[in-house]
Structure 1
Amino acid sequence: MTASLPTKEELELIRDYVLLPIMLDVVKSDRDKMKYEFLSLKELYLKADDALLNILMKDLFAVKQELKRLGIKVEEIDRTPTALNYKFWYKGYEDHFSLMRMVVKSEISVRLGRYINRMFEGR
């Protein structure tokens, strides 16, 4: 069997698989902190967080299903102070990649902004 390189779209799925759980953790953490704040619009913020969490969970579920359908496996190798390291397998091809923590923070911020914009656009 010849090893097949993943397509750009498949690599994006792998990246989504890595980033979506981190995004979920960020939103959950912020939500937990907000529970103890005395804000006049706290209920609105908590409901918005709940809606965002639901969308993120649905997207993560869809990504996991698609990876399974494609036969792609992803595994976290380790986390260092500067990077998150992963390995993936795809049709006989094995590779590893690292995401720098600064890049992850930046990308998560951008992605969460897109999700929030989508929520208010009614999509």
Structure 2
Amino acid sequence: MVTQRQTSEDVRLVKYYLIYPVVLDVLQRNIEQIESGNWKLPDIFITHFKLVQKGINKEFYEIKQEMRSRGIKVFEEKRDQKGISAKYLCRGYRHEMSLLWMLVKSETRVKLANTFGFDIGEISK
């Protein structure tokens, strides 16, 4: 029997496994800021963000399911001032991944822009 080492899809799954919690944290912080701020119609924005959270949680669950079916398990995850790092097994082989905060922020922005239905290039500086 030939054991297949990790594929680019395996790496993508681990990357999003590490990034999706950050996306969810950003949404939660925004909800808390709306709740404590002086927004017009805060219930509309909060409901929208909570629906987005629900969708991203569903995608995150699907990522974890796919990882499980491919024999991928993250066994150590660490956040520090540089970024997020993880150690994981992929079909019995040990691997490591490190994502700098700059990349995590960029991926978070792209994910949220796509989820909200616009291209990241449309954001004004």
Distance 2:116 2:75 in 1: 29
Distance 2:101 2:76 in 1: 14
Kept in 2, the 8 Å contact 1:20–1:60? The answer is: yes
The CA deviation at 1:80 is 2.3
Q: 1:77 to 1:3 in 2, by over 3 A?
A: farther
Report the residue type matching 1:50 in the other structure.
K
- Corresponding residue for residue 64 of structure 1: 64
Question: Which deviations, in whole Å up to 9, do the C-alpha atoms of 1:23-49 show, x marking residues without a partner?
Answer: 111101110111011221312111110
Q: 1:87 to 1:3 in 2, by over 3 A?
A: farther
Distance 2:110 2:52 in 1: 14
Within 5 Å, which residues of 2 pair with 1:11-50? 11-50=11-50
Question: Which deviations, in whole Å up to 9, do the C-alpha atoms of 1:25-84 show, x marking residues without a partner?
Answer: 110111011101122131211111011011011011111111111110013342221121
Q: Which runs of 5+ in 2 are unaligned?
A: 119-125
Kept in 2, the 8 Å contact 1:89–1:95? The answer is: yes
Q: 1:108 to 1:76 in 2, by over 3 A?
A: farther
The CA deviation at 1:106 is 1.4
Within 5 Å, which residues of 2 pair with 1:62-101? 62-101=62-101
TM-score normalised per structure 1:
0.86
Kept in 1, the 8 Å contact 2:87–2:96? The answer is: yes
- Corresponding residue for residue 121 of structure 1: none
Mean Cα deviation higher: 33-42 or 108-117: 33-42
Answer yes or no: is 1:112 the counterpart of 2:100: no
Count of equivalent residues: 118
Kept in 2, the 8 Å contact 1:87–1:97? The answer is: yes
- Corresponding residue for residue 122 of structure 2: none
User: Post-superposition, which runs of at least 4 consecutive aligned residues in structure 1 deviate over 3 A?
Assistant: none
Task: Provide the secondary structure at the position in 2 that maps to 1:35.
Answer: helix
TM-score normalised per structure 2:
0.85
Distance 1:106 1:74 in 2: 22
Task: Provide the secondary structure at the position in 1 that maps to 2:47.
Answer: helix
Report the residue type matching 2:80 in the other structure.
T
Kept in 1, the 8 Å contact 2:31–2:49? The answer is: yes
Distance 1:86 1:70 in 2: 17
